[in-house]
Structure 1
Amino acid sequence: MPAWPPELSRYCCQIDFLRYAGAVLRQLLTLVLLLGAHPMMSETRQAISCAAPGVEIVASYVSHAIKLDAAHPAAEWQTARPVSFCSDWQGKNPDPERETQVHALWSAETLYLRYECRYRELYVFGDADANGRRDHLWDRDVAEAFLQPDPSREHYYKEFEVSPNGMWIDLDVFPGGISDLKSGMQRSVVLNERSHTWAAELAIPMKAVTPHFDPGAVWRANFYRIEGSKEPRSYMAWQPTHTPAPNFHVPSAFGKLRFSRH
């Protein structure tokens, strides 16, 4: 057979290349669609996302008081970029069905926190003080915040807890002990058993955390969740503490809380 003219040979090669490239692209697209549709792959991506939190949360500024309504959050919460976590206190075993998101807002008088929590099961106390305070709240399902306005005093910080049914406790933590903080914290909690989610909004007076609030200061902070009726319970942390047994009281593992002026 006579050889193809050089110009025609180049033309045919280009056609073959385009056909080959098109086939490869179709295969890649099919693979991407299959991976996206596969529930295990989707869950894996979600687990990776909620298991790799940053080390900093930024509180967005508000110039006025925010009305707490966990079921119908104020529009200002949309300005707060959340942090999320779903891994245990060692940074292992991510569980997207127990993911927690935390938003933060601040004014000169108040630090606002909003928790959005997914859960597998509920385990809560049925009784509390008349004002909703419940001692040993950590023995049931809770969301927690540890706040340290002065990192130079490593073993001094404040602890705030809230449960899916609205109970709460606040504590002053110091070397060798704890005491009731009596912060005047306000809260709003909503539970949706159909979607297996609950949300809580907290309003924490700045004066209960630090006598002289400086928005230019960088606080240390950590956020936690506890869930489950019996051991091994789920002890989840935003910043892992990496202790052999579950322990949230590790200030050296706290992340950073910054206050944005925007």
Structure 2
Amino acid sequence: MESNYLIRKLDTSSRDAAWNLADNANIAEISHFLWMDNGYRPRTEAALTYTEHDLQLVFRVFEENPLLRFQSPNDPVYKDSCVEFFFQPSPDKDPRYLNLEINAAGTRLLGIGADRDERTLLPPDSHPPLLIETATGLHDEASGQTYWSVRATLPLQWLSDLFPDFRPAPGARMRGNFYKCGDETALPHYGCWSEIKSAQPNFHLSEWFGTLQFG
């Protein structure tokens, strides 16, 4: 069964509203942990909202001591404690997708292309600021657990410039997936929201993306 996610629209310019998962956003649980048999399945929540100007992305990861070594843009952050958002803004017109990968230090890797082998890494000076914020050692009052968080903002005009057929309006659909990984952490793991059917670790399989619909 294909995964489906409704992107709620926020009638506010306040960034803080987008980060209140309980009140303002649907939560996507990253519950499919694949390819490793070490029992490590960190609770991970993702959410996506939008305003007139931006897509707003947030993750919460319930890990106490995330690995955060890489500090330069487009470093291999997936080897650290990392969250990722892959998405096709215009899936019916353009097979390309963006892969945004962010470690717990706030270092990002950003690429564009149609598949795993044909990707172009985008340097920070090639796009507007993504306003990435991270925090570690946070306390969740409901569960008593420690977590870390990531926030990022994706300007809609920038996405429209990259994908001319992109129309972010109610009912419009993107395709994508939310991921949690840590290739070189003490307990390597690969988690996803929309389940992937593959014998080998590979997040770059757009045929397994779920539907992301603007509300």
Report TM bin, short chain: 0.7 to 0.9
Is contact 1:86–1:94 with CA below 8 Å preserved after alignment? no
Q: 1 CA distance for matches of 2:210 and 2:150?
A: 21
Question: Can you list the C-alpha shifts for 1:127-167, whole angstroms capped at 9, x where unaligned?
Answer: 32xxxx24222222210001111223564101111111111
Whether 2:37 is the aligned partner of 1:86: answer no
Matches within 5 A, 1:21-32: none
Q: 2 CA distance for matches of 1:65 and 1:94?
A: 41
Amino acid in structure 1 at the alignment position of 2:120? S
Bigger shift: 222-231 or 159-168? 222-231
Question: Which position in structure 2 is the counterpart of 1:25?
Answer: none
Question: Which position in structure 2 is the counterpart of 1:213?
Answer: 167
Question: Which position in structure 2 is the counterpart of 1:170?
Answer: 110
Q: Which runs of 5+ in 1 are unaligned?
A: 1-52
Is contact 2:71–2:105 with CA below 8 Å preserved after alignment? no
Q: 1:148 to 1:254 in 2, by over 3 A?
A: same
Amino acid in structure 1 at the alignment position of 2:181? I
Is contact 2:88–2:97 with CA below 8 Å preserved after alignment? yes
Question: Which position in structure 1 is the counterpart of 2:61?
Answer: 117
Question: Which position in structure 1 is the counterpart of 2:142?
Answer: none
Alpha-carbon distance, 1:231 to partner: 7.9
Q: 2 CA distance for matches of 1:204 and 1:105?
A: 10
Whether 2:124 is the aligned partner of 1:183: answer no
SS in structure 2 at match of 1:252: helix
TM-score (norm 1): 0.66
Whether 2:93 is the aligned partner of 1:138: answer no
Amino acid in structure 1 at the alignment position of 2:106? G
Whether 2:91 is the aligned partner of 1:151: answer yes
Question: Among 233, 236, 261, which residue is 2:188 paired with?
Answer: 233
Alpha-carbon distance, 1:116 to partner: 0.9
Question: Among 189, 197, 219, which residue is 2:147 paired with?
Answer: 197
Q: Which runs of 5+ in 2 are unaligned?
A: 140-144
Is contact 2:19–2:58 with CA below 8 Å preserved after alignment? no
Identity of matched residues, %: 17
Between structures 1 and 2, the one with greater strand share: 2
Between structures 1 and 2, the one with greater helix share: 1
Question: Which structure would you say has the larger RCO, counting Cα contacts within 8 Å and 6 or more residues apart?
Answer: 2
Question: Can you list the C-alpha shifts for 1:159-194, whole angstroms capped at 9, x where unaligned?
Answer: 111111111122112354212334321111110177
Q: 1:207 to 1:180 in 2, by over 3 A?
A: farther
Higher radius of gyration, 1 or 2:
1
Bigger shift: 180-189 or 237-246? 180-189
SS in structure 1 at match of 2:148: strand
Q: CA RMSD in A?
A: 3.0
Amino acid in structure 1 at the alignment position of 2:147? T
Q: 2 CA distance for matches of 1:242 and 1:93?
A: 19
Q: 1 CA distance for matches of 2:39 and 2:159?
A: 31
Q: 1 CA distance for matches of 2:6 and 2:51?
A: 13
Q: 1:85 to 1:208 in 2, by over 3 A?
A: same
Whether 2:76 is the aligned partner of 1:127: answer no
TM-score (norm 2): 0.79
